[in-house]
Amino acid sequence: MDTLVRTSKDNSVTQDMDFTKSAPSLHTLPEEILSYLFSFLRTPSILSCTSTCRYLRKVLDDSSALQYVIELEAQKMVEVTAPDAMTSPAERLEILRSQMCSWRAFKPTIVNQFVQPGGEVSMSFGHLSTWDDHPQIAQIRTLDSGLSESQSYKRWDADGYPMPKDTPFRVHSVCMDPSQDLFAFVALEPNHMAEISSRIYLETISTSEPHPLAASEILMSFKPHISANCQFDQTKMKLKIWGDRIVLLSICDEYSCPARIQIWNWQEKQDFKCVYREKEPYDKVDDCCFVNRDHLIVSSRMTGRLPCRLSIFSFFDLGKPPVRVAECILPFQPEGTFLRHSPFVTISPDIRRSMAPQDTRFYPDAKNQLIALNIDGPPSFVFIIDTDKLLTTCQSGIHTEGQTRVLPWKEWGPNCSRCIVDPVPNSLYVLRLEVAGGRAVHATPNDACTSYSLRTYDFNKYRISRAAASKDFRGRIVTEPSTFKHRSFDEDIVTSLPYMVVVDEEPIETAANMIDVTFDDENIMIIKACKSHLFEYAMLRYHTEFGEG
């Protein structure tokens, strides 16, 4: 009996050992299955797995789908395609790499020129928006639409907007988001209660009808003034959109009247909004911009000899006032500041369905973007700030709940920013630099300021490393810290954010001052003054067709 039992156990052990020897491993799985399994991992995990042996590395080398996922994350981009898109991962990978290469050997060509009113200019999702405050006119132009001239743009005139009789009405700011077919504008209407009523109207760009996703056609707000010296025409408004969030910044020229921030979720029906107002009017607020869906940056100048600062607000719960989580101090006191940042792309289902199956477009990931803090001069200069690094710095270290962190320049500035200065300093030209995602475009004046050169910057580490290894890269890579000295500064400004820069060899001739430059994923727009309330726009295409170098 013992012998039978022992033999039975031995057979069982032998069977188990045979099963273990024949058990499948990663090396025995087909490449198609491995590629599918790896697609559920993030890029660092994919690279770690495929670096363990030649077979797994071959799986990555043979899979366009995996390479495409890695390329998207490395470039910090997101794709936008039609629901019935016919392009394969290999085709999308080629398009993405081609767009990356186009910035290495920058040679834009003019593809269109036209004249329309100027003022505030923004460019997003293949649309150009301009807003001229004095005649109260906005125009939205569809770029490369293939439509006739009469169909390619839309004119919006505030004077023709129906309003109640005898009601003073003035539009103070407009904002568009073509990816959501959203056009928003804010109007102020003083009433008899010593208050100013702010109304934000939400319409579609395509039809000028109330937006179907809006919980209410109009967002209402009242701004009571605490100073009798504040006049109606001294109030300025700035409107910004980020997906389902809208922020309204109210600024008054009267120092005794503090700025006010109001934030809505325009797609949800609610009786409340997120409101913030300084308790003491001790600073001069200039501008604001979204950093992500729940964070806002506000630039302001302090009164007296106190320096400029960037305040970071958090508003996870719109039912409560925004919380100022950090104040980032800058080591100077400028004449004025304004912020530029990437437009956030939120593709609505209707927009996506209207795309052609062969269309594939790439936009910066909203979680990784730059902001440009423009400083009015003379001399004028710009700080390019990496918001991902900035938020990480503000959230690191010891922090007491409910208290605002105050970060001196040396704790955040050198590692999170890079100062860009015109190569030809002058007292007449105000530097204009536009950012989108990890890139920036800058029009710099030449010696006599009769012509300008386009400079393109890229702050993405992956694209910088690929450019350094490329034979066709025609620019310069800057990794060393740079020092900016100025007599009005208490200390030298040191910044060290790595970047690469490419200069277009063909100068832009102009008899007038360069007004502005803006760009999106495919085009750069050069804006020059030509006559009263009209500006000349030159659209340049910078994508090229050559492949990976």
pLDDT the model gives residue 195: 56
Mean pLDDT over all residues of the chain? 79
CA angle 72, 74, 79 (to 5 degrees): 20
47 versus 153: the higher-pLDDT residue is 47
pTM of this structure: 0.85
Looking at 85-214, which runs of residues are DSSP E strands?
109-117, 120-124, 127-132, 137-142, 153-157, 170-177, 182-190, 195-204
Considering only CA atoms, which of 525, 515, 533 is closest in space to residue 128?
Answer: 525
pLDDT the model gives residue 54: 87
Instruction: Taking residues 317-321, report their average pLDDT.
Output: 84
pLDDT at 384 over 60: yes
pLDDT at 212 over 80: yes
Looking at 351-507, which runs of residues are DSSP E strands?
360-364, 370-375, 381-386, 405-407, 417-421, 433-436, 439-445, 451-458, 476-478, 482-484, 493-495, 499-503
pLDDT at 211 over 90: yes
Q: Who contacts 264 (Cβ-Cβ below 8 Å, separation ≥6)?
A: 200, 219, 245, 246, 248, 270, 273, 274, 318
Instruction: Taking residues 529-549, report their average pLDDT.
Output: 68
Instruction: Taking residues 421-444, report their average pLDDT.
Output: 75
pLDDT at 191 over 60: no
134 versus 391: the higher-pLDDT residue is 391
pLDDT the model gives residue 67: 92
Instruction: Taking residues 457-485, report their average pLDDT.
Output: 90
pLDDT at 106 over 60: yes
**Could you tell me the pLDDT band of residue 119, with boundaries at 50, 70 and 90?**
confident
% of the chain at pLDDT higher than 90: 18
**Could you tell me the pLDDT band of residue 547, with boundaries at 50, 70 and 90?**
very low
Query: Coil, strand or helix: which one is 468?
Result: helix
Q: Who contacts 539 (Cβ-Cβ below 8 Å, separation ≥6)?
A: 110, 111, 112, 113, 143, 523, 524, 525
Supply the DSSP symbol for 158.
G
Query: Coil, strand or helix: which one is 69?
Result: helix
What is the C-alpha radius of gyration for the chain, rounded to an integer number of angstroms?
27
pLDDT at 476 over 90: yes
Cα–Cα distance measured from residue 320 to residue 324, given in angstroms and rounded to the nearest whole number: 12
CA angle 62, 66, 69 (to 5 degrees): 150
pLDDT the model gives residue 330: 86
CB 294 within 8 A of CB 335: no
404-418, 422-436, 507-521: least confidently modelled range:
422-436
Q: Kindly state the helix (H) or strand (E) to which residue 352 belongs, with its residue range.
A: helix 349-353
Q: Give me the amino acid identity at 120.
A: E
pLDDT at 460 over 90: yes
Q: Who contacts 185 (Cβ-Cβ below 8 Å, separation ≥6)?
A: 138, 158, 171, 173, 174, 175, 200, 201, 239
pLDDT tens profile 148-181: 555 577 888 877 766 655 556 678 889 999 889 9
pLDDT the model gives residue 19: 45
pLDDT the model gives residue 6: 47
Long-range CB contacts (within 8 A, 24+) of 252-260: 252/225, 252/227, 254/227, 254/229, 254/230, 255/281, 255/284, 255/303, 256/226, 256/227, 256/229, 256/230, 256/281, 257/225, 257/226, 257/227, 257/229, 257/230, 257/281, 258/226, 259/285, 259/298, 259/300, 260/223
Torsional sign, CA 186, 191, 196, 198: negative
Cα–Cα distance measured from residue 235 to residue 247, given in angstroms and rounded to the nearest whole number: 16
pLDDT tens profile 404-414: 889 999 999 99
Phi, psi torsion values for 191, nearest 5 degrees: -115, -170
Instruction: Taking residues 299-315, report their average pLDDT.
Output: 79
Cα–Cα distance measured from residue 79 to residue 96, given in angstroms and rounded to the nearest whole number: 9
**Could you tell me the pLDDT band of residue 545, with boundaries at 50, 70 and 90?**
very low
Torsional sign, CA 477, 479, 480, 482: positive
425 versus 87: the higher-pLDDT residue is 87
pLDDT at 548 over 50: no
% of the chain at pLDDT higher than 70: 78
CB 521 within 8 A of CB 362: yes
pLDDT tens profile 331-361: 877 777 788 887 778 887 777 877 888 788 8
**Could you tell me the pLDDT band of residue 546, with boundaries at 50, 70 and 90?**
very low
pLDDT at 495 over 90: yes
Considering only CA atoms, which of 178, 156, 5, 160 is closest in space to residue 80?
Answer: 178
pLDDT the model gives residue 143: 84
